[in-house]
Amino acid sequence: MASRLLRGSLRLWGGRCAPCPPHSARCFHSGGEERLETPAAKKLTDIGIRRIFSSEHDIFRESARKFFQEEVVPYHAEWEKAGEVSRELWEKAGKQGLLGINIAEHHGGLGGDLYSTALVWEEQAYSNCTGPGFSLHSDIVMPYIANYGSEEQIKHFIPQMTAGKCIGAIAMTEPGAGSDLQGIRTTAKKDGSDWILNGSKVFITNGWLSDVVIVVAVTNREARSPAHGISLFLVENGMKGFIKGRKLHKMGLKAQDTAELFFEDVRLPASALLGEENKGFYYLMQELPQERLLIAEIAISASEFMFEETREYVKQRKAFGKTVAHIQTVQHKLAELKTHICVTRAFVDSCLQLHAAKRLDSATASMAKYWASELQNSVAYDCVQLHGGWGYMWEYPIARAYVDARVQPIYGGTNEIMKELIARDIVRDK
C-alpha cells in the first residue's frame, strides 16, 4: 500500500520525477519504523531521523535538499550582491513542489501536511541560504488568503502562488510601529464601495519582488480599541499609488529582498478587502502562532547546521600539534552546544506536533520563538569563536550564519514581547 501511495505522489519536474509532499492521511509516523532521535544521530542534519517524520517525508526531504544544493547554493553569493534572488528561482520552486505545501488542494495548494512544509524550512536552513522568502510566502501569506479570502480571491491568487508566479508579502511593520500592531498609522477610508489606502510600511520581506501584499490598515478610528478597527487588504503590484521604495541594506539576510512600501491614495475595490471589515487584528492573532513556530523551527535548524559546520572544522583545524577537536575545552563546549540544541529540538518538534493537531497556543509558540532564537544567537557566537579568526571571514559559512541569526529575536514580535505574552498567560486567572 505504501509503495502504491508513493507512486501516486510522484510527478514530473524538468523531465525527472520529483516527489510531492506527503498528505497527512498518507503518513505513517513511526508505525513500525525505528527512527533515531537527534541526540543519537550521526549528524544532527541526517535524513531518516526523528519520529515525527515518515519514510515518505524522507524521500521528499531528499528532493528538497537536492533543490537547495543545486538551485540555490551556487547562486546565493551573487544574489547577496543583488539584494534579491531571481524570479526564475521562484518558478523552479513551484515546479519542484516547494511552495503552498500546507494549503488545501481544493484551494490550489499541494495539500501536504505540516511536517512536509516544516522540512522545507529545515532544508533551507541547512543550506545556509536565507535569500529565498519561500516560508513567508507559503506559510505566512498564503494561509491568510486560504483561511479568510473569498472564493474569488482564493482562485485568483493561490494557484499562481503555488506555482511561484505570484510572490506574496505581508506589510505590518511601519516606521513608528513594530511589535505593537495596534499602533499602526496606515489608513483605508471608504469612498463609495472603494477604499482609499494611505501610509507606509518598512522591513517588508519579499517587498521588492512582491506581486501581492497583504496590507494591515486602520479602517475605524472610532472603534472602542485600536484592535477593533483594523482590516487587511490585498494590494497588487502595479496599482496606481502603490510605490516600492529602496531595497534596504541590512546587516544580514543580504540576499533576501526587504523593502519600504508606500501607499499614496491607492484606490482599492471592495474585492480587495481580505475577510471582514475591522476583523484584521483577530486574523493576525490567529495566524501569528504559526509565524512564531516557523521562526523557532528555522532557528533550531540553523543551530543544527552551525553545530555540524563547526564540528567538521575543529576536527580538521590543527593547533599545538593536534586537531582543535582534541582540546578538552573545545570538547566541553561542543558537548554544551549539542545538549542545548537537542533539548530545544525536542521542544520544537513537540510544538510541531501540537500545531499539526491544531493545539498550539499563543504562549507556547511564543516560548518556542523566544527560546530557539536566543539559542541560535548563542550557538552562532560560540561557533564563530571555535572557528577563530577564520570565523570572522565572510567566505566561511559560519560568518554568514552569525549575522543572519541576529534578526531572529527581533521580527515576528521581539523576544521582549514574547516574554510579555508568556507572562500574561502565567498570571491570568484561567
- The dihedral sign for the CA sequence 18, 21, 25, 30: positive
Tell me which amino acid residue 308 is.
Answer: E
Is residue 221 a contact partner of residue 183, using CB atoms and an 8 Å limit?
no
Is residue 373 a contact partner of residue 299, using CB atoms and an 8 Å limit?
yes
Q: How many helices (H) and strands (E) does the chain have?
A: 13, 12
Helix boundaries (H) for 149-266: 151-162
Contacting residues for 427 by C-beta, under 8 A, at least 6 apart: none
CA 414 to chain centre: 16
Residue 60: CB atoms within 10 A of its CB come to 26
Rounded distance between C-alpha atoms, residue 256 and residue 76, angstroms: 10
Pick from 261, 260, 258: nearest CA to 235: 261
Cell of 9: 505522489
Q: How many residues are present in the chain?
A: 430
Cell of 256: 533576501
Place of cell 499539526: 356
Contacting residues for 249 by C-beta, under 8 A, at least 6 apart: 83
Pick from 105, 140, 100, 104: nearest CA to 120: 100
Catalytic residue set: 291
Rounded distance between C-alpha atoms, residue 338 and residue 111, angstroms: 34
